[in-house]
Amino acid sequence: MNAAIYLRKSRAEENDLDTLARHREQLVTFAAGKHISVIKTFEEVVSGERLYARPQMLELLADVEAEKYDAVLCMDIDRLGRGAMSEQGIIIETFKNSGCKIITPRKVYDLNDDIDEQYTEMESFLARQELKMIKRRMQRGTQKTKAEGGHVANPPYGYKRGWDGKRPTLEIVEHEADFVRLIFSMYIEGAGGTAIANQISEMGAVPRRGKKFGRTSIIAMLRNMEYLGHTVSNRIKHIKGIKHKVIYKSRAEWMIVKNTHPAIIDENTFKKAGKILEGRYHPPANTGEVKNPLAGLIVCEKCGSYLQRIPFKKSTGQYTLFCTTPGCCTSTRLDRAESAVLDYIREYLAQIESGKMQRRENGKTATEALKRERKAVDEQMSRLYDFLEQGVYTVEVFVERQRSIKIKQAAIDASLQKYKNLETQKDFVNQVRMALEAYEQATPEGKNQLLKSIIGKVYYFKSKEYKPAQFDLSVVMHETID
């Protein structure tokens, strides 16, 4: 690092003859310790406040402007620029534009970096008026950078700071970008902000600030055009007062520079999400074709809501089932749930085919016997009326007898129904067998219809303690075997 030393007495030191020599020694030693090579020393003999009264300073500034040094060493910062305000502005500006640092034994000042922090320390050095002027100039510089597509604000989630030459831009952070893509696709599939926030948190996404993603930040991300590769600035205005206030500007005031950095989300996806946000679009879950074989079948056992199918990893084409209620059941891969349902159906079929067929044969004889019994009871009932008419039974006795016969009839009917169910089961078993045979070749919508023809509902449960592939399912078939 090449540097110049600038020496000047402060007002208080005017009568001290050794001051500059002492300072020179200190700075040279300091520079040696820091491996800074001093290529020139400026020594102001006069202690004038105005620049024109400081010929060495004028010379130094010319050198700095010509970018001859990486840094200028001085004892403390106000040695450089005590005095008239506009002149201090010139000094600061010159250092800033040439990228020359100011180094004091106490601190390194880089006027292109961390500018706000620097300013607090420079406030004693610069008058308030001057500070405002410089800030305005810097803002103009920032505006210029923005107009050229430079990204000066904090990088949004999914990106980090990158550089295109001197232009600040954004670089994709892949593991974060995956979550950004997931957020958009879940939203388009019909999930709400809160459900998405919970889902991605569960999958390990952590926001830059704060502990956990919430609905508001998800919605803000869905609106952020920077994911399209455009730089958007002038969205907000900060008002500093007793309380820091932020005003959101209207869209018309935004400054948008297109294609300034790599996009994470494509135009089409962004538009779809935008339409849902505006409430003008109904997600395909409500209207279009069925892509989930378990659609309208699988419900969360805890909250009763239907589980939603969402893409898990685009690259693998994997989907996951998740409960839309915040903090409810943990999600599971769709293919795992689907094969578990099919396993259940196969098991159901095997059970019937092994033992229950025999029972059905026995059932035939039982049904005939029951029918005969029912006929006998019906005759008893009709005889009751005769006895009542003939005066054999009093009204009280009639009512009593009638009630006991009705109970008998109901019991016979129930038994008959059970065996009748066994008959319908025979048809149902055939239907299950056919559904299983046709399943593999069917489209997702066809699979869904096949399942719906044999299943009423699938109840799903999974707690956080479960392993990824572990979950509980209870399948309710249209016909149950007893």
> What residues make contact with Zn ion under the rule CB under 5 A?
300, 302-303, 323, 325, 328-329
DSSP state of 227: G
Between CA 380 and CA 386 the distance in angstroms is 10
Q: Give the nearest distance from C-beta 118 to Zn ion in angstroms.
A: 53
194 and 205 in contact (C-beta within 8 Å)?
A: no
Tokens, residue 224: 């952020």
Looking at beta carbons only, is 302 or 401 nearer to Zn ion?
Answer: 302
**Helix or strand or coil: residue 155?**
coil
Which residue from 229, 286, 307, 295 is spatially nearest to 262, judged by alpha carbons? 229
The CB density around residue 127, as the number of other CB atoms within 10 Å, is: 15
Looking at beta carbons only, is 270 or 322 nearer to Zn ion?
Answer: 322
Looking at beta carbons only, is 188 or 328 nearer to Zn ion?
Answer: 328
Q: Give the nearest distance from C-beta 216 to Zn ion in angstroms.
A: 23
Q: Give the nearest distance from C-beta 321 to Zn ion in angstroms.
A: 11
The CB density around residue 184, as the number of other CB atoms within 10 Å, is: 22
Which residue from 84, 196, 176 is spatially nearest to 129, judged by alpha carbons? 84
Q: Give the nearest distance from C-beta 300 to Zn ion in angstroms.
A: 3
> Counting runs of H as helices and runs of E as strands, what totals does the chain give?
14, 17
**Helix or strand or coil: residue 335?**
helix
Looking at beta carbons only, is 302 or 408 nearer to Zn ion?
Answer: 302
Q: Give the nearest distance from C-beta 307 to Zn ion in angstroms.
A: 8
Looking at beta carbons only, is 344 or 459 nearer to Zn ion?
Answer: 459
Q: Give the nearest distance from C-beta 138 to Zn ion in angstroms.
A: 53
DSSP state of 4: E
Looking at beta carbons only, is 215 or 302 nearer to Zn ion?
Answer: 302
Strand order in the sheet with 298-300: 298-300, 455-461, 472-477
Query: What length does the chain have?
Result: 482
Looking at beta carbons only, is 62 or 303 nearer to Zn ion?
Answer: 303
Between CA 393 and CA 395 the distance in angstroms is 6
Q: Give the nearest distance from C-beta 199 to Zn ion in angstroms.
A: 12
